[in-house]
């Protein structure tokens, strides 16, 4: 199997919270209108894992989501030029990792939330991904644990 890649996806909880994803079981990740974020969406493939960040309200990484299907055209987009993927919930973090905590952690100095605050879909290194799970006092359930 191909190596799992790690990502960070952001959503305002008032728009689509992680708890909503858990209720729905899966969702189509649409509405991205930034070229770089779109390119990242296109690089996602089924099985990749995403840290789920709540922006504006909450301001914390709250859960892990998994890419279910790779990028297709965004049905909500005005043209063919945009992409979306479908994602499903994996686990909610036992302890949400606040932005303030991320900022205080030297190992996360170049985490995309810190360096690229406004990028809504960003690649995350395996090292950062694991560290955030640790800060969130959370283990991945076995089916999601791939490499």
Partner DNA sequence: GCCAACGTTGGC
Q: Residue 25 has what DSSP assignment?
A: S
Residue 4 in contact with DNA, rule: CB under 7 A: no
Interface stretch with DNA, choices 29-37, 69-77, 86-94, 124-132 (CB under 7 A): 29-37
Separation between Cα atoms, residue 93 and residue 91, nearest integer Å: 6
Please give the order of strands across the beta sheet that includes 60-73.
27-29, 83-98, 60-73, 49-54, 6-11, 121-124
Residue 59 in contact with DNA, rule: CB under 7 A: yes
Minimum CB distance to DNA smaller for 67 or for 121: 121
Separation between Cα atoms, residue 144 and residue 122, nearest integer Å: 20
Minimum CB distance to DNA smaller for 100 or for 139: 100
Residue 35 in contact with DNA, rule: CB under 7 A: yes
What residue ranges bind DNA (CB under 7 A)? 10, 12, 33-36, 55-56, 59, 99-100, 103, 113, 116-120
């Amino acid at each position: 199997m191909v190596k799992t890649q790690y990502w960070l996806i952001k959503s305002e909880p008032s728009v689509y919270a992680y708890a909503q994803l858990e209720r729905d079981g899966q969702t189509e990740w649409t509405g991205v209108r930034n070229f770089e974020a779109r390119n990242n969406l296109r690089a996602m493939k089924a099985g990749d894992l995403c840290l789920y960040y709540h922006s504006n309200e909450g301001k914390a990484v709250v859960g892990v989501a998994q890419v279910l299907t790779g990028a297709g055209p965004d049905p909500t987009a005005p043209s063919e030029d945009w992409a979306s993927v479908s994602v499903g919930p994996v686990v909610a973090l036992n302890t949400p990792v606040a932005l303030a905590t991320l900022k205080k952690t030297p190992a996360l100095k170049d985490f995309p939330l810190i360096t690229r605050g406004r990028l809504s879909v960003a690649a995350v290194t395996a090292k950062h991904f694991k560290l955030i799970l640790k800060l969130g006092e959370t283990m991945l359930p076995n089916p999601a644990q791939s490499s």
